[in-house]
Chains A and B, each alone.
Chain A
């Protein structure tokens, strides 16, 4: 191993040690309660909350998968995803604010908590939790694969990707095991700042590229591969229908992600959670995404011929920059991977512990539940690592598969927030049929990113999910549902209170006026 590689690994190692120390500090100041461990006592303000959402949203999928999509498929390759993040802002505004209000009163932590209460059916909560668990593992594996690849490229092959994956998993495990949500959120903020800066820094350095800066690189690519600038992408697959259905999938999936749903409840007040939707998903996320799309396209001219597009960014960083700068860049990428993976782990343990273990063994001590959640973190980590080392799927396909699964399973949870008549019969049918369609098309039939009847496979799952929820709920109506009634009464009450607070006048004053 050369001195340069050793120096680079030292920088990355220092970054990892910093993460772990922060996790230990978070552990020391945490209360030993599930609420503190999973949602940090519902106490975080603007910066922490937006930072953790952005850090959790962007991961190996951004730096490896989407940069790779732009590298391989041209400028428009990853754009539907970023349109999807803008759509997520509107979904967040419409749904997440309501979830936050209800969570404050009813103590939700997971999506399973919400659906079990709304549909008054704990078995349905178990079903949704197990589905989330199943769809989360590919995403977890994606992060570990990305981490392994980054370490391998950084060490110039001295450390194989498989060993890199084990190392990154160990770091994540130690850190998440020790910290809980409080430590995770602190490191997320640091990660979010660093990795929002990375694409900007890389893009700026390309201004002085020997090929003639940005214009020179564009001219070079325009001459050699003009299709990289086509709206439909270099591979010709970004039709309007694919564009729209991919973006819809991203819009729908956001609240189906267990790590995202849990984060709704860390906000200390309504203004904070609203700012996540408006500024986090609406502005910051698409801006970073558009920069990444341009960066990936320019890399195709600056570093042509990289066989696996997912390796484009780390390979270019190691080739083009000095040992310290490239190590810092890769440490930032690893930070993004860790900040998503620890959140995924925490979410997995929370959903299994709360919605599955508590169902099987109710009324145990909180200490037992707390210990079980930590065991789940250990088991999930090992399972995720095994999947990462054995899966034949690419990073992009793993990401799309997971997002499609989340997008379909969450439909009853979202519609049930507004539509009183929606009931457990519709919910069961929707989740089983919708998710079944996606599972069949994307995994069994192997369509992956390939269009099905002209649109992305996830669209058929979403469509079947919505139609079956509505139809079955209308046919098999529900007589009484105390959970539903109390939820809608509370929402109405909150709307009245908030209306009063926003206008600054009481209801009585308004009536007099």
Chain B
């Protein structure tokens, strides 16, 4: 898999995770009795949210490294024509 394909794939996954973070329809409302505390500390919905955030961070940092790891600033300034 080429670097560009990998970048596109990770980029798409990031937007999928972001959509899940934006529309948390899968997190049940607590008023329905669905707020069991995980390890007696944090509610289940919050732990799921943390896992999603963790996935988001891993993908984001991977994309960052893939995109800018080999990046070099273009040499020279723009020509008058390009300006």
Contacts and interface: CB of A to CB of B under 8 A. Distances in A.
Interface of A: 75-76, 79, 83, 86-87, 89-90, 105, 214-215, 218-219, 222, 226-227, 229-232, 236, 240, 243-244, 247-248, 269-271, 274-275, 278-279, 282-283, 286, 290, 294, 486, 489-490, 493-494, 497-498, 500-502, 504
21 contacts: A83-B22, A215-B40, A218-B37, A226-B30, A227-B30, A229-B37, A230-B30, A231-B34, A231-B35, A231-B45, A232-B30, A240-B25, A244-B22, A247-B21, A270-B71, A283-B61, A290-B50, A294-B42, A501-B72, A502-B72, A504-B72
A504 B75 CA distance: 12
Contact of B82 (A90, A271, A490, A502): A490
A232 B29 contact: yes
B21 to A, nearest CB: 5
B72 to A, nearest CB: 5
Contacts of A240: 23-25
Given A90-B14, A231-B35, 18 more contacts: A86-B56, A90-B18, A218-B42, A219-B40, A226-B30, A227-B30, A229-B35, A232-B31, A248-B22, A269-B73, A275-B64, A283-B60, A290-B50, A486-B83, A498-B74, A502-B67, A502-B71, A504-B72
Contacts of A493: 78, 82
User: Secondary structure at chain A's binding surface: helix, strand, loop or mixed?
Assistant: helix
Residue of B22, B42, B82 with most chain A CB atoms under a 10 A cut-off = B22
A79 B49 contact: yes
Nearest to B15: A90
Contacts of B42: 75, 218, 294
Contact of A231 (B14, B27, B63, B72): B27
- By size class, the interface of chain B is 35 or more
B79 to A, nearest CB: 9
Interface string B53-81: 10011001101100110111111001000
Nearest to B83: A105
Nearest to A293: B46
Contacts of A218: 37, 40-42
Contact of B29 (A79, A89, A231, A247): A231
Contact of B68 (A247, A274, A504): A274
Interface of B: 14-15, 18, 21-25, 27-31, 34-35, 37, 40-43, 45-46, 49-50, 53, 56-57, 60-61, 63-64, 67-68, 70-75, 78, 82-83
A285 to B, nearest CB: 11
A231 B24 contact: yes
Contacts of A490: 78, 82-83
Contacts of A275: 64, 68
Given A86-B18, A86-B21, A244-B23, A230 B35 contact: yes
Contacts of A501: 71-75
B67 A274 contact: yes
Nearest to B59: A282
